[in-house]
Amino acid sequence: MPDVRVWRNSSFSYSNGECVEVAVLGDGTVGLRDSKDPGGPVLTLTRGELRAFLEGAKAGEFDDLV
């Protein structure tokens, strides 16, 4: 398990625990994981990669996926 400061999720997350958690990892990258499987795999992104994804999501680039 990578060195983690704090795992957190959105205040918009469902109370059934089905959400994505994020954390800044010890090397400065950002980790994403499934809250139902905290010991499972962690997707690691650079801050630039996460920023690009979030900007795309805000711009509606992924709206066709939901």
pLDDT at 6: 87
Q: Which residue has the higher pLDDT, 3 or 33?
A: 33
User: Is 28 contained in some domain?
Assistant: yes
What is the residue-wise DSSP string for the chain?
Answer: ---BS--B--TTS-TTS--EEEEEBTTS-EEEEETT-TTS--EEE-HHHHHHHHHHHHTTTTGGG-
- pLDDT tens for each residue of 14-66: 666 678 899 999 999 999 999 889 899 999 999 999 999 999 999 999 999 98
User: Is 8 contained in some domain?
Assistant: yes
User: Is 45 contained in some domain?
Assistant: yes
User: Is 66 contained in some domain?
Assistant: no
How far, in Å, CA of 56 to CA of 46, rounded?
Answer: 16
pTM, two decimal places: 0.77
User: Is 4 contained in some domain?
Assistant: yes
**Total structural domains within the chain:** 1
**What is the domain extent for residue 2?**
1-61
Q: What is the mean pLDDT of residues 2-14?
A: 76
In the structure, what pLDDT confidence band is assigned to residue 2 with cuts at 50, 70 and 90? low
